[in-house]
Amino acid sequence: MSHRWIVWAALAMGSIPLVGCASARHVQNFPDGGVVAIPANSNHWPFYYRNKALELIQESAPTGYEIVMEEEATRSVVTETSTRKTTTPAPALVLEGVQVASGDYPGYDEPRLASVSFPLRKEQEDTEELSRETEFKEWRIHYRRK
C-alpha cells in the first residue's frame, strides 16, 4: 500500500467519530414551528450542518416552512478556576556563637557555643486564584410551519 493511501485512510478513520458527534437538533418545538440548532452556520465537507438542519426542519414541517429568524446563541459557559498558594518563610535573626550552659543539654559537661534563631514574624502565605470563562456558541434557525 502506498504512503498516500495510508494517509487518506488515517484521515478518513479519524473523521468518522467527528461526523456523528455534533449535528442538527431541535432546541424548541411548537405547534406552529420550532428552533433547530447546529454547531456552526456552515455547509462544508464533512459536516454539512446547514443541510442537516434543513432536513430536520423538513421532517418536522412536511407541508412547508418559512425561516423566521437566524441567530448565534450561547449554548453553555464553562468556568475553570485554578488556585496557587505560595508560602514565604519568615525572616529570622540568627545569633552565632551564643554560649549555652551545660545544664541546658543533658550529656554535656562543659559550656558550649550554639546558634540561636529568633523569628521576626510569622510565615507569609499568599493565595492567587485565576478564573477563565469559555463560551460555547451554536447557530439557531427559527422556523414556522406553513
**Mean pLDDT for back-to-back runs of 10 residues, the chain (146 residues):** 62 50 88 96 93 96 96 95 92 78 61 78 92 96 96
Question: Would the pTM count as exceeding 0.85?
Answer: no
Q: Could you give the 3-state DSSP secondary structure of residue 59?
A: helix
The whole-number pLDDT of residue 139 equals 97
Its sign, for the CA torsion 115, 121, 122, 126, is negative
Domain ranges of the chain: 20-103+113-145
**E strands of the chain, at which residues?**
25-30, 33-38, 65-88, 92-100, 112-119, 124-145
The whole-number pLDDT of residue 107 equals 64
Q: What are the phi and psi torsion angles at 62 (to 5°)?
A: -65, -20
The whole-number pLDDT of residue 90 equals 86
In this structure, are residues 99 and 113 in contact, taking their beta carbons and an 8 Å threshold?
A: yes
